[in-house]
Structures are given as C-alpha cells and as structure tokens.
A and B are shown apart, each in its own frame.
Chain A
C-alpha cells in the first residue's frame, strides 16, 4: 500500500486514526496494539505470504536482544557470539530474498551448466525492516534498555509509517516513545502539515518528473540528443529526491500524528558544495546507519589513511548493494567511494577554497551522473546513456529540438522542483512566522495543497515509489 493511494488515504488512514484516537491516551498498550495490528495489515496488504518474513525478523531480533540483555556484560564472548548470530540471521534473510537471484545469475555467466532455481520474489521493504531489526539488537548490545514486551519490538520494526521505505528509524531514536509519548493536537497538526507537504512533493513533483525521466530513459538512443539526455537525468534527480523525501516527510508526519519523533532524512542535498556534504544531507538515516554500525566498527578513520580508504570502499560497496542486487548499484556505490576518497585526499580542500557556484556545479554534475548510473537498467544502457549525454556531435537525432518540449511542457514543475530543493521557501516562511494571521494563511495554503494533491491522487495513474524496491 502506498501513502499516495486512494486506499491508504481514504480507507486505511481514516480507520487507523479513528480506532487509535478513540482509545484514551492512558491506555498505551491498547493504542500500541492498534498501531501494531494496522501496521501488520499494512504490510499484509502488499505482501501476503511475505508477512511471515517480517514476523520472523521480529521474533528473531526480539530473542537475540533478550539473550544479549540477559547474559550481561560479564560474559562478553557469549554476547558477541549472539550479536554475530543475529547479524548472520538478519543478513541471511536479506541475502536470500534480495541477492540469491543476482548471485545465481552471475555464477551462471561463469559456468557451463547453469544453476536453475525458481525466481525468489523480494518482499517489499526488506532492506528497511532488516536494518531496523539489526539496529535494535546493536543498540541493546550497546546498553540501551531492552523491550521486554515483544509487542513493542514488533511495533518498532513494523510501524507502518516507515515500514516499507524508511526512513530507517534507529531504536535509540524512539525507544522511550514506544511506551511513553504524548499525542497532542499541536503535534497532530504539525504531522498533518508534514504529511500533506510530503504528499504534494510526491504527487505534484516526483510523479511528474518521473513521467519525464521514464519516457526519456526508455527512449531509443537514436532519437536522443545530449540536451534530451541531460533533461532526463535532471528529471530523474528531481524525481528520486521528491519521491524519497516526500515519502520521508509523509512518514515523519504520520509519526508525529501518533506521537513519534523520527529523525530527518533529507536536508536540501542538492545545495551541497561537495559529495561529502551531499551524503551528509541525503538519506541521512542510511548513511548514519552505515557510519555507526559498519564504518566506525571497522575502524573508521582511526587506523590510518590506507585503512580509512579501504573502509570507505567497503561501506560504499555495501551501500550500493543495499540499494539493489544489480551491478549498476554496486558501481554507483563504488563511484561515490572514489569521489569521497578523492575529496578526503585532496579535492575537499580545493572545494573549500574555490568560488561557491563552481563547487555547487561540481557537486550537481557528479550527483546527476551518479543518478544515471543508478537508474540504468543494464551496464550497456548506462554506458549508452552517458555517451549520448556527452556526444554533442550527434546531429542525426530523429527529433532534434525535442528537449524543448520537455522544458516548455514541464516548465512549472521544473521551476517548483528547483525552488523547493533550496531552503528559500523555508527561510521565507520562518521569517514570516511572526506576522499576524500568518498561521491562518499557512494552514489555508496547506489545505489548498492537500486538495490539489488529492486531485492528483485520483487523476493520475503514474505512481511508483522508487525506494519501495529496496
């Protein structure tokens, strides 16, 4: 079930809100149970049999954490062994469902007699809920209080706002809110605002940019000009940003409505002046997860520059692989490893000194190239697309001026995408916050945006969520 569907907005959400808020606030157990039941149903709606996998993930992580907690810090070897077991358990689930097909496919390229297996369907959101389950065990290992009630662990892992597309909520972030939180009207309104903004980002901007990007990426290279290829790549950069940040906004908003405070997942990534800064602003929950649970345990930057570079490549190889079982994702991860290493070694200092617009252009250029790698369905497609982007001598395209169509047809959306990828509007609204009647006007505008977004939900059929496939 996607947040931007009629079933979610007009059946699931009203039902969960009604049931949840009918129960008095003091009955936390009942309220949590309602959220849990609806969250499991939310998953069951899209993945009927695979619901058993998430239940297995919940049960496994609950018992691993319980084991670690009960043993106590004195028997550190046994604790480490259980932690290692939990990692193997979670990664096995992830590996089996996400990477088996990819592995067999690659092995078959190398051997004469291909291995034949039935294609394994990947459950939606497995990368997200597996990482959340691991976060729970890691945080308990590090000393955070355990959840003795399995329902709270189940709620943490399966909470529907962030279940299938993140943000990856760390256990430490909402540990106390699982049992003590305050759902106030102020939070509900704030949550509604955030949800509506996310819905609008998704419906009005991401989906429109998605239409542009998918039609250009699917076009025959013979009909493409460099201009068209660049517009496709820029449109995809906007699509993935508004798609994923819109989803994160909706998740954060829904969290607030139910009294949870999830951490921010995006912070205007396209205004970055370096790739290092970009990754501090993009998918923050994933990059901090890898930083805290992989990079730092590997030694981070504490064991010399050579080891640090190796660590960077390991983390970014894994980051790429986390996004999908395909070579383009691995290349995309290693591409960023290379850029980050270069910035760490010498480029970073240079970027600090050069004229700001040049640093912005440098970052955007490399980010856009990165998205072409990310969005390509095969290595051939990736190379072909990149070639068209830089082949300015190609005069044989069937529709030489066609890029103007996309620029004129989607001028408003491109303009809005550009505007909202900078903090201009945010700064303006915070400056106006003191003006009398501002809140009234702001609420009115939000309601208007809500109506327009609903219009898009009902009227458009192009509604993919990119991060659902991870």
Chain B
C-alpha cells in the first residue's frame, strides 16, 4: 500500500516537474529582459518579429519568432555554457563550438580541401589591383608597402592535433603564389611568416585563444616594417624594446576562440599593453570626432573581461593620430584588425598616422583617398587567409 502511494507521488511529482519546465521557461523568457546582443557570440540577437497579415501569410513571422525565441531564451548563455561543458567534459571532444582544443592552444577547425586550381588567377588579379595603387602612390611621390601577417591558425598550423587537417598545402601555395606574383609586379612587400618563424619561440608571438598575434607579434611587424622603410630612404625614429615596457593586465581575456567556449576555455592567457619611457603627445580623431588620446581601451576594473578591442578600441572606419612633428613622414595604413595592435606602436614614428578599415569605411575608395590625402607612405596590412581575396581591404578602387 505504502509502495503504491510512493509510486503515485513519484508519478505526479515527475509530471509536475516536466509541466513546470514546459510552462515556466517560456514565462521567464518573456518576463526577463535579456540583452539585445550576445557578448559571447559577438552578434546582435534576433529582434521580436513584426506581426502583420503579410508576415503571417508569407511565413516570415513564424520564422523570425523561432529565431527570436531561441536567441532570447531565458538564461541562454547558461544553457550554452552547459552544452559546452557536456561537449568538453562528458564527450571529451577535440572540437567544441567550432574551436579546436589543442595543447594549451585554441585553433579553428578546417575542412579538408584539395588545392584550388585558381590560385594563380587570383594572385594575378590581386597583383594587378596592388599595382594600380602602387603606381598612384609613386605618382604622388610616396612609397607603398604590403605587409602580410599569418593568421593565428596558419602561423601555428603544425600544432593541430592529429588527425585534424591544418591546410598546410593550401596555405603554403597561397603564400608562395601571392608573394611571387606581387614581387614580379615590383611591389614592395614583407612576408612576416618567415620572420616570425625565425624567432626563438614563434608561439610567444601569437595569442593562444584568439586569431590575432600578441602585442609582441605586433611589435615585430612594426619593427620589420620600419626597418624596410628606412632602407627605402625614409627618416624617422623607430621604437626599440628599450624605449617601452610591457605590462600584463590581470583581466580575464576572452579571445575570439575562447569566447566561443562560454567561459569554459581550458586555455587561459592575459593581454599586455606597453608604456613608453618617454610618452609622445598626440591627438586622436575617430570617424571625424576627436576622442581621448590613447591607443589602449582599458577596462574599468581588474576583474572586467577584455577582448582584442583593447588595442585601438577595435575596428574603426577611420582613425587619425597626429603627433605634430612635421619633420616626420605621414603614413596611411589600411587593413583588417591585425593593424590595431601595430598602430599602437606605429604612431610613435610618424607625424600623422591614418588608419582605414575598408570593410567599414564607405566614404570613398582607397585610390581616391590616397589621391586627396597624398601620404608619404601607404601600407596595406592583411592576414594570409585573405591574400587572394578582393573583399573588404582587398577592394582597390
């Protein structure tokens, strides 16, 4: 008799728990006002759908409702973290949430692909575009330099755990074809990969949990670039490692890869900034508005998480830094987010440093910008994944 009562209680309790899960989660979802942006995923969450006869009849309302409910589900980040924990700890996966968990390193997973036959065609196209820019810069008395840096997974490709594919064949082919082709077109170029490889510990130059280099990698690219410009005949001061001191921030760093692991990354690291022994005063204008003269976007407290936007505040359409030293050359730099950390050093060597990110800057094309601004030096900085692709900072028009 007692057992039957216990079984009934058990039955009703289970039904009650299942029902309360089904009923409470939607209510809590609608009551809780979650953010409109996902910090971990670095994207805007789906908005509430618009209800109208047309959106219902064409199905878009239901489609958007699905996305909205999934995106704004009650405590979504906690659910995502729980899912990540299952994949990491229970299923012991090597690839979790599109991140490869290597030995003290997070990489990006790559799908095996055969060598692409069109690399040379794409290389010729890129060289033609860069030649147009090079000719324009030279016609106004300046110099153009292309600096290529490897993306983190490309630089550290030999650390992919077996049997994951590291795309070595394709990455090597792209790099060789690109630099051979632009060298034939007589474009000044620097390939940072062999330079990084020749350092005693190349892993030290790259982030473990992000797709960028560390500040040390950025410094080496700055230093190499400046040496190259000196050889071209420009005169300006170059920062040596005696001129500044690195300082590690205690804040938890969420790189583009560790962020995808919802705070459960087995690999951790801290970001560094540097302090000049003799600061160089400057003013800074972002997208036409004067902003605080700093190159580091420092967090409010030591516990606040930080990301790669620490350097220069992240990707900005146009940044102008003036040091008011007219005897020094003016430089224009354009490229992806790899430019950000290098810009922190670059401004110290020039009178005026302008930086464009053509992925966002839409006011004019790079050719028109150069023609109007007439800089002494134009630098294009791209990562090796994008050498052959015209999109974003590869659009020369």
Contact with A along B81-93 (1 / 0, CB 8 A): 0111010001111
Whether B38 sits at the interface, judged by CB under 8 Å, is no
A7 and B69 form a contact (CB under 8 A): yes
Q: How far is the CA of A231 from the CA of B44 in the complex (A)?
A: 37
- On chain B, the residues within 8 Å of A446 by CB distance are 14
Contact with B along A402-425 (1 / 0, CB 8 A): 111100111111000000000000
Whether A6 sits at the interface, judged by CB under 8 Å, is yes
Q: How far is the CA of A403 from the CA of B163 in the complex (A)?
A: 8
Q: How far is the CA of A436 from the CA of B79 in the complex (A)?
A: 34
- On chain B, the residues within 8 Å of A458 by CB distance are 70, 73, 76, 79-80, 83
Q: How far is the CA of A32 from the CA of B123 in the complex (A)?
A: 67
- On chain A, the residues within 8 Å of B29 by CB distance are 10
B44-85: which have CB < 8 Å to A? 56-59, 62, 65-66, 69-70, 73, 76, 79-80, 82-84
Whether B277 sits at the interface, judged by CB under 8 Å, is no
Q: How far is the CA of A220 from the CA of B92 in the complex (A)?
A: 28
Closest Cβ of chain A to B214, distance in Å, is 29
Which chain A residue has the least Cβ–Cβ distance from B85? A455
Binding stretch for chain B, among A42-50, A63-71, A99-107, A361-369: A42-50
Contact with B along A179-223 (1 / 0, CB 8 A): 000000110110010001000000000000000000100011011
B65 and A7 form a contact (CB under 8 A): yes
B165 and A186 form a contact (CB under 8 A): no
Q: How far is the CA of A410 from the CA of B94 in the complex (A)?
A: 9
- On chain A, the residues within 8 Å of B114 by CB distance are 220, 222-223, 398
Q: How far is the CA of A46 from the CA of B70 in the complex (A)?
A: 17
- On chain A, the residues within 8 Å of B76 by CB distance are 458
B165 and A447 form a contact (CB under 8 A): no
Whether A358 sits at the interface, judged by CB under 8 Å, is no
Whether A356 sits at the interface, judged by CB under 8 Å, is no
Q: How far is the CA of A409 from the CA of B163 in the complex (A)?
A: 10
Q: How far is the CA of A439 from the CA of B11 in the complex (A)?
A: 9
A452 and B69 form a contact (CB under 8 A): no
B26 and A11 form a contact (CB under 8 A): yes
B59 and A48 form a contact (CB under 8 A): yes
Contact with A along B152-181 (1 / 0, CB 8 A): 000000000011110001000000000000
- On chain A, the residues within 8 Å of B163 by CB distance are 399, 401-405
A186 and B11 form a contact (CB under 8 A): yes
Closest Cβ of chain B to A189, distance in Å, is 5
Whether B31 sits at the interface, judged by CB under 8 Å, is no
B113 and A459 form a contact (CB under 8 A): no
Which chain B residue has the least Cβ–Cβ distance from A223? B112
- On chain A, the residues within 8 Å of B164 by CB distance are 405
Q: How far is the CA of A7 from the CA of B91 in the complex (A)?
A: 28
Most B CB contacts (10 A, CB to CB) among A219, A402, A405, A450 go to A405
Whether B1 sits at the interface, judged by CB under 8 Å, is no
B18 and A192 form a contact (CB under 8 A): yes
Whether A299 sits at the interface, judged by CB under 8 Å, is no
Q: How far is the CA of A399 from the CA of B166 in the complex (A)?
A: 9
Partner of B66 from A6, A17, A409, A456 at Cβ < 8 Å: A6
Which chain A residue has the least Cβ–Cβ distance from B13? A443
Q: How far is the CA of A113 from the CA of B19 in the complex (A)?
A: 60
A1-37: which have CB < 8 Å to B? 1, 5-7, 9-11, 13-14, 17-18
A219 and B92 form a contact (CB under 8 A): no
- On chain A, the residues within 8 Å of B15 by CB distance are 185, 188-189, 192
Closest Cβ of chain B to A218, distance in Å, is 9
Closest Cβ of chain B to A56, distance in Å, is 18
- On chain B, the residues within 8 Å of A397 by CB distance are 112
Q: How far is the CA of A404 from the CA of B164 in the complex (A)?
A: 9
- On chain B, the residues within 8 Å of A436 by CB distance are 3
Whether B276 sits at the interface, judged by CB under 8 Å, is no
A399-B112, A443-B14, A452-B86 given; A459·B66 CB < 8 A: no
Closest Cβ of chain A to B386, distance in Å, is 22
B17 and A405 form a contact (CB under 8 A): no
Whether B324 sits at the interface, judged by CB under 8 Å, is no
A45 and B62 form a contact (CB under 8 A): yes
Whether A346 sits at the interface, judged by CB under 8 Å, is no
Q: How far is the CA of A436 from the CA of B111 in the complex (A)?
A: 51
- On chain A, the residues within 8 Å of B26 by CB distance are 10-11, 14
Partner of B14 from A189, A402, A410, A412 at Cβ < 8 Å: A189
- On chain B, the residues within 8 Å of A459 by CB distance are 79-80, 83-84
- On chain A, the residues within 8 Å of B94 by CB distance are 405, 408-409
B82 and A6 form a contact (CB under 8 A): no
Q: How far is the CA of A273 from the CA of B19 in the complex (A)?
A: 42
- On chain B, the residues within 8 Å of A402 by CB distance are 112, 163, 165
- On chain A, the residues within 8 Å of B57 by CB distance are 48-49
Which chain B residue has the least Cβ–Cβ distance from A8? B66
A318-345: which have CB < 8 Å to B? none
Whether B95 sits at the interface, judged by CB under 8 Å, is yes
A447-B18, A454-B21 given; A6·B90 CB < 8 A: no
Closest Cβ of chain A to B15, distance in Å, is 6
15 further A-B pairs in the complex, CB-CB below 8 A; given A6-B66, A189-B15, A401-B163 = A1-B62, A18-B23, A192-B18, A220-B114, A223-B114, A398-B112, A409-B94, A412-B91, A443-B11, A447-B17, A455-B79, A455-B86, A458-B73, A458-B79, A459-B79
* B residues adjacent to A (C-beta < 8 A): 3, 6-7, 10-15, 17-19, 21-23, 25-26, 29, 56-59, 62, 65-66, 69-70, 73, 76, 79-80, 82-84, 86, 90-95, 111-114, 162-165, 169
- Mind listing 25 A-B residue pairs with CB under 8 Å? A6-B73, A7-B65, A9-B22, A10-B22, A11-B69, A17-B19, A18-B23, A49-B57, A186-B11, A192-B18, A220-B113, A223-B113, A397-B112, A398-B112, A398-B113, A403-B163, A405-B163, A440-B10, A443-B11, A443-B14, A452-B86, A454-B25, A455-B86, A458-B70, A459-B83
